[in-house]
Amino acid sequence: MEGMRRTKIVIIALVIVSFGTLALKSPSGDNYFAIIKNLDIFATLYKEVNAYYVDDVNPNKLIKTGIDAMLGSLDPYTNYIPEDQIENYRTMTTGEYGGIGAVVQRVDGVNTVLMAYEGYPAHEAGLKIGDQILAISGISLDDKSSEEISTLLKGQSKSGIELTVKRYNTPDTFIVTVSREKITIKNVPYYGMVDNEIGYIKLTDFTTKAGQEVKKAVKDLKADGAKKIILDLRGNPGGLLQEAVNISNVFIPKGKEVVTTRGKYQSKDEIYRTLDEPVDTEIPVAVLTSSMSASASEIVAGTIQDYDRGILVGRKTYGKGLVQITRPLSYNSQLKVTTAKYYIPSGRCIQAIDYSHRNADGSVGKIPDSLKVAFRTIGGREVFDGGGVDPDIKVAPKEYAPIAISLAENNLLFHYATKYYYEHKDFGDPRDFSLSDTDYQNFIDWLQDKDYEYTTEVEKKLKNLIESSEDEDYFSQIEQPLKELLERNSANKENDLKEYKDQISWLLEQEIASRYELQSGMIEVGFKSDKDVIEAITALNDEAKYKQLLNQQ
């Protein structure tokens, strides 16, 4: 006990010295006594819990829980990164790791290849979507978690591993030897022509070189004849702030302000401007956004809007206007801490007023007008702060029927796409692919002995009504009619496959296209039914409407 007491005194002394040093740099020295006092309480509390709690205490788990709860009271983006998670964090920020270039997850309890990235070791070795990986270098994966499997797949570049693989309609397993390589996840997994004049760029991340990838994509598309550009930021969670500046610079002249960061200390505020000559400042641009387009995505979308450089199509963005940096901690751990808010060229901050409460789809919902502040784009259009960037053309989110969700969640679309691939060798251009009536009927027939139970919204409401009415005196009078309605609704499920054929076909077509053309197939097959893309094409092809949206008439 005496040793622990001396250790605690040493720790507190070091803390006092550390905060004393910080006090020379910071005006908020009044808080330091409270900080030291509470650190002392925390250390004492931990000592007592460790000594007297009824069960053994895992110190790493207990302290991390405390740290996470403490940081969680600040904002959702200030996080503690322990040493064993540093490699995953580096992958998120750099897009690089040592591995085989494939996404492997459990499907119906078996580790299955969901995607093999073109040009990387898994694809080059012949692995296909739907292949089941039963063992890695002789180690069975039956009882392994996703994290453990990811660790086994990753490793030093040039190191080899053997995968025991089971393939659809192949009775015996076989070995695939793969040599790990340095995998760089592409920020732009796809770009291509939607039609003869419109180029499309899918941007999924803002890791290192994102700006270079977008720049190359625009140049290549223009060389292919593109006279208009669609930049798809839907679902992009953001990343490196400088890459947002670099991507904006593709369309915005050199020397223009893109974003300003302002934090606790005014001396550390920074203005980020474009540094290079742009690729094209005139080509019409449509940026696709969604409720999950966040952070750096919102800087790009907001900058394009504030300079009236292009139109935004889709849904209000996420509303994350906070800047994080990482700070080193002891024992190779790190702190990702919010240090500033960012402001786009019009002067608005897109940070959601209340980021602790969101809708199920991640959106911030409706912000009261009284809480919004109006700003102006360079051309005089009125724009607002308070929670994300509003699109110029609003498109309702695609909502799927319960049956479509059930078919996806039960992996039935996934399995049928694999079956289709091995039974149909000819595919052609994904843009022209669609399931025929015969193909869809074959899918319905295949489902006959499959389990895909689901509950419709009507069923949920009827069940809730029955449960809430059971204690009422008049329940006996309404019980039978309600149950008959419930049974009738269940019977109607048999018609749902036909009623929601368009939805289910679109999802199934994307799965099937991925078997032949991987990521690019999934994207291209969706062009003909993607409401956001269709709206963007319509606006870009209507010069008068495009100029009107930008207040240029």
Distance spanning both ends of the chain, measured CA to CA: 80
Catalytic residue among 131, 205, 306, 390: 306
Right CATH for 96-184 from 2.40.30.10, 1.25.40.20, 3.40.640.10, 2.30.42.10: 2.30.42.10
With 0-12 / 13-18 / 19 or more C-beta atoms within 10 angstroms meaning exposed / middle / buried, residue 341 is middle
Distance CA 92, CA 103 (A): 15
For 149-163, what is the mean pLDDT? 89
393-394 sheet: strands from edge to edge? 190-193, 198-202, 228-232, 285-289, 311-314, 393-394
Q: Is 306 a catalytic residue?
A: yes
Catalytic residue among 248, 295, 363, 505: 295
Q: Is the pLDDT of residue 493 over 70?
A: no
The first and second tokens of residue 438, run together, are 């015969």
Is 87 in contact with 97 (CB distance < 8 Å)? yes
Residues 6+ apart with CB under 8 A from 332: 83, 86
Q: Is the pLDDT of residue 463 over 80?
A: no
Q: Is the pLDDT of residue 29 over 60?
A: no
Q: Is the pLDDT of residue 22 over 70?
A: no
Determine the residue type at 27.
P
Q: Taking each helix axis from N to C terminus, what angle separates 475-491 and 457-469, rounded to the nearest 10 degrees? A: 160
Of 48-62, 86-100, 123-137, 205-219, the poorest mean pLDDT is in 86-100
Is 302 in contact with 344 (CB distance < 8 Å)? yes
Q: Is 320 a catalytic residue?
A: yes
Architecture of domain 190-397: Alpha-Beta Complex (3.90)
Q: Is the pLDDT of residue 130 over 70?
A: yes
Q: Is the pLDDT of residue 454 over 90?
A: no
Tens digits of residue pLDDT in 395-443: 999 899 989 999 999 999 999 999 999 999 989 999 999 999 999 999 9
Q: Enumerate the H helices of 492-550 as residue ranges.
A: 493-499, 501-526, 531-541, 543-549
Position 185 scores a pLDDT of 86
Q: Highest mean pLDDT: which of 8-17, 350-359, 485-494, 530-539?
A: 530-539
Q: Which residue has the higher pLDDT, 109 or 476?
A: 109
CB neighbourhood size of 377 (10 A): 18
Q: Enumerate the H helices of 372-500 as residue ranges.
A: 402-409, 412-423, 437-446, 457-469, 475-491, 493-499
Sheet strands (E) in 11-159:
79-81, 96-99, 102-107, 110-116, 132-136, 139-140
Position 88 scores a pLDDT of 77
Position 480 scores a pLDDT of 75
Of 20-24, 125-129, 506-510, the poorest mean pLDDT is in 20-24
Position 368 scores a pLDDT of 64
Catalytic residue among 154, 320, 419, 493: 320
DSSP percent split of the chain into helix, strand, coil, nearest 5: 45, 20, 35
- Residue 25: pLDDT band with limits 50, 70, 90: very low
For 109-129, what is the mean pLDDT? 94
Q: Output the CA–CA distances (angstroms, integers) from residue 386 to 63, 260, 351, 376, in the order listed.
A: 35, 17, 6, 14
Position 6 scores a pLDDT of 47
Is the pTM above the cut of 0.75?
A: yes
Tens digits of residue pLDDT in 373-401: 899 999 999 999 878 999 999 999 989 99
Tens digits of residue pLDDT in 169-196: 899 999 999 999 988 889 999 999 999 9
Hey, where are the domains in the chain?
2-57, 96-184, 190-397, 398-553
Of 1-10, 37-46, 259-268, the poorest mean pLDDT is in 1-10
**Long-range pairs, 408-416, Cβ under 8 A, ≥24:** 408/507, 410/450, 410/451, 410/452, 411/107, 411/108, 412/447, 412/450, 412/452, 413/504, 413/507, 413/508, 413/511, 414/107, 414/130, 414/511, 415/130, 416/443, 416/446, 416/508, 416/511
Q: Is 429 a catalytic residue?
A: no
- Residue 458: pLDDT band with limits 50, 70, 90: low
Q: Which residue has the tokens 């009044």?
A: 30
